[in-house]
Structure 1
Amino acid sequence: MAFAHNSMLRGLNSIYLQASFVQKPRDVSDFLFFIYAWAGWVSHHHVLEEEKMFPGFERVIGVPNFLETNVEQHHSFQPLLKKLLEYSSKTQPADYQASVVRQLIEEMAPSFRQHLSDEISSLLSMEPYDGDALLEIYKECEADAGKQDKHVVPPMVLGLRDITFEGGNQWPAMPPLSAWFVYYFFSGKHSGSWRFLPCDTWGNPRALAFVEENA
């Protein structure tokens, strides 16, 4: 889960750092879709936690509402995440304002960052319980997450992982050669949007394409 959270933060940082330097209509359109894809993925992740993962964990450990605090934290940033999602889906390139995107992120980031950290602590506290049963719940949710649009989520997520970070090559769990399959069969549809990713399909870090020195 920590690797997923790190990927979310890399995406958020990439959006914030590049927002002010995207200017051409085609680039803006691609950037707005990148924001939309990231916000949609994060939102889906938290809905899946609330509806399936956390209730499943609580059944295994036999402690109702054990993760309620973490669910409540979702509500502290979810309205801002929804605004970011709506802005990215409804805004035309000619109307794009970097200041709006950056302001939403600045308002959302503190509670979002705190939640991601606190959630890991909560999950680690379940270590004394039935690890195999907890892992089964996690894998079921991972399978559900894998049903998202293959032209959007896999190319984006692979470009948000960093294999140079400790253990970074262990997530997401994929069969051999999957990254190649994603690259050649699924990344092309929205390839313009993947220019904004901080890593390539194989998880190698790269310079952001739209920062001041590269704009």
Structure 2
Amino acid sequence: MTQDDWLADPQYREAVADLLGALAYGELTAFTRLAGDSELSPTQPLKAAVAGLAVAEFRHYEMIVARLEAMGVAPETAMAPFIPAVDAFHERTRPSTWLEGLVKAYVGDGIATDFYREVAAYVDPSTRELVNSAMQDVGQADFVVKVVREAIRTDPRVAGRLALWGRRLVGEALSQAQQVAVERDALASLLVGGVGGPHRPSADLAELGRMFARLTDEHTRRMGRLGLAA
């Protein structure tokens, strides 16, 4: 089946538009947050490095917008349903320090990345490739790990505060992922089936439980890379 064959199903088309709309707004907010973090960076080299990460996120946003437009979907329409939930998440997890902002970019965005990659397992190959490209690490992982570990070496007290911050982020991020997954019927149908034809893969309740367990496991791994207790 070609992508056009998949998209011929109106429900599937709506579901893909939802997925890409959620991704696009997530990438747009990632760009604006990293741009703000860049301004708060303590040194010029760090400022330039974070600005580079922001630019990469905006390029991902442009990729997704281009696909929505190619589908004949207005990007602002696709993004609109997800603005309240994403904005509320960022309001609840507003960092109080530059380091907290970096940890959020790595840990919080990492959970979102893992979630959308899980969802992408149930879409057509072309859309899956786009999602995986847009979710590609642009260098933020190694950068954040290096900066945070150096901060901990300089002041070990930082570790406790950032570990608590990471635990708060995982709870909020998983809650947001669940909210996105269940509140939009079209997007939920990607996971549980019912669109895209009888041969399209779908997940049962047990698999959904395993999916969220995998998200938690990946969070623990990321925290370990930072040198923080999960």
TM-score relative to the length of structure 2 = 0.43
Taking CA–CA contacts closer than 8 Å with sequence separation of 6 or more, which of the two structures ends up with the larger relative contact order? Answer: 1
TM-score relative to the length of structure 1 = 0.45
